[in-house]
Every structure is written in C-alpha cells, then in structure tokens.
Structure 1
Amino acid sequence: MVIQPGDFAVRDLSYVIRSAEEKDAEMLSEVRLQADGETENLDREKGEAVIDEPGFKKLIKEDTESRNNLFLVAEVNGRIAGFARCEGSKLKRFSHKVEFGVAVLKDYWGYKMGEKLLAACIHWADSNEIKKMTLSVLETNEKAIKLYKKYGFEVEGILKGDKVLSDGNYYGTIIMGRLNQE
C-alpha cells in the first residue's frame, strides 16, 4: 500500500517519510547492510541474509500492491536514512494483523526517525482495518521497548535465550503486540 508523504524537522534535521519506490531498491540494499553492522538490536549480522537490488524491487512492488503490507522510507536530502515495514499474511485467519520492523542508520539516531516511522505505520494500520500489530525486540533495547509501550504495545511473551550476541551471551526476544480496539 502507499501513503501520503510527511515532512518532519527534528532539531537541525529535516526528513520525509514516504512509501518506498522501486527506484529506492539499490539504496535500500546498502542501507540495510549498513544498519545490520551498526547495532546488535537487529536480527542479522552485517552480510547475513542480504537482499540485493532485484530483491528489494520485488518486495517494494509486492508491498505496494498488497492491502496488508506497507514499506516506508525516511529520506534525508535524497538519501535513505531508515525504513520500516509492515508485513501481513495472505492467510485468512491472520489477515487482521501485520508484523512491524524498523531500522535507522546510526548517524540518524536521536532524530525521532524510528518514532515517526512507527507512528506512520500505526496510522496506516488503524486506517486500514488492521486490528493487530506485532513486533519483536531484543530485551536489552530499553529505548525501543519504552517507545513501543508509549504507542500502546504490550509485552505478550519472551523468548528466553533466543539470540547470542558478540559477547557470547544469550539474550531474550520480547514479543509485543498492539490491538486496535476501534
């Protein structure tokens, strides 16, 4: 699905949140690879499960045509600085929900880019009869957990010892959900 773009200014940075377009595919591949290497809060290490330009073109096309999918980018001066995606299911029993994911390049942390992407996804979901949004977050990512709770997400469960990080320790993944009660 496609949304109307939104302009934002936080401190000294202006950016646009808009739907991903096929022309973004090459840059998205680069941004995802870079983001994976900048934090352990994401599922992949840098270079794992790479999506190349054709892969992103296909994903963007499918998401644009689907009623239950949304792919957004945050753009700063013509460059993609972050992205978010809501992925729904083609199965009827799960057609009321989407899974949310987000990534923002480290240079743009602190500019509320992740929050604006989240808010845009929630607005889209609430406006399109999506009754539930789910996400998973590393238990040590306290800022993200606090943000998700602020937007109505609740902890639904914890997958203990779910991820091993560079320190060799195992950490839990928190499963969170938000129900649209309207």
Structure 2
Amino acid sequence: MSYFDYKAIPAPRRSKKARGVREPAELLALTITDTINEQAREGWEFLRAETLPAETPRGLFRRAVEEPVSLLIFRRERESRELRLEARVEALRPAPEPAAPRPAPVMEVAPAPQAEAAPQPRPESTPPSVRTFAERVQAASAARREPPISGAARAPRQDQGPSPLRPGPRFGPAETN
C-alpha cells in the first residue's frame, strides 16, 4: 500500500519577466511551469491546482472579506513501512567482521643513539662569555627581583589591627569590641 505526503503552496499571482515572451497567458504559464519544476527538483510530484475561498481582513476596520485563493497541490510518496522497518533492522545488525589484517612487513629498527649525559651546570665563577644562553637567562631571572605590589595584596601589619574601611571578622557572641 502506498502512502503519500502532500504539500500545498500558493499559486504565483504575478508573472515573471522573460525575454521573447509577450503574451500574458504565456508569461503566467512560464511562471507556473518554473514553480512546478522547482518543486519537482525537491522530489514533489504536481497533483492538481485548487481554488478555495479564504477570509482575509480588508479595509479600514479590518473587516473579513472572502476572496478566492489558488493553491498548487503536490505529493511525494512516503517510504513504505516495510522499507523503514528493513532500514531499522539493518541499522541494528552488527557490522560484519573485517577481514583479518595482513601482518605488516617486519622492519628492523636501529637502536636509539645513547643520550649524552646532561651538561653539568657551570660554577658562577665562570666568565659570562663561556656560559650557555640558558644559564645566562637563569642567572638574569634570579638576579632580577620584582618590586612588591602595593595596595590590597600587602598584608596588614599586626600592630595596626583591622582596616578602618572594613571591620575585621566576627567569630561569635563571646567577642566584644
């Protein structure tokens, strides 16, 4: 048993402009043909054209007026229930086992070269021109000291007590100020 999905779109009211076509009937036919072909590319089959009455608000007081509306009706066959069930069953089946892989050709790997011992740090008495770049950077960063950040990051002195702007923490009813 076949099942269909249906789609209704409004028929074009204005004709498209086209070169070489002058007659209004030919322009309208060309416009409708383009609309039908556009829907056919999406898989819809033209079924029929319908003209139905529709109430639309018109006029100053938006009074309902009945006017005819033309619709183009399209249909598309639904997948049958059997095809959908078969697709679900296929999706649930385990994938077939892949063929046993062929063994890769054995290649001999050359032994890794012996890592040289890490260079020993040179004493500070070594002249700067002899030290490595890394040693010079490390020495420069050790010699450079950042100034302390002023303001909020500095802890209050013990003898001053809490800040006058913010009272200290309260620990319970036993504490009195």
TM range (shorter): under 0.3
What is the TM-score normalised by the length of structure 2? 0.23
Larger Rg: 2
What is the TM-score normalised by the length of structure 1? 0.22
Q: Which has the higher strand share?
A: 1
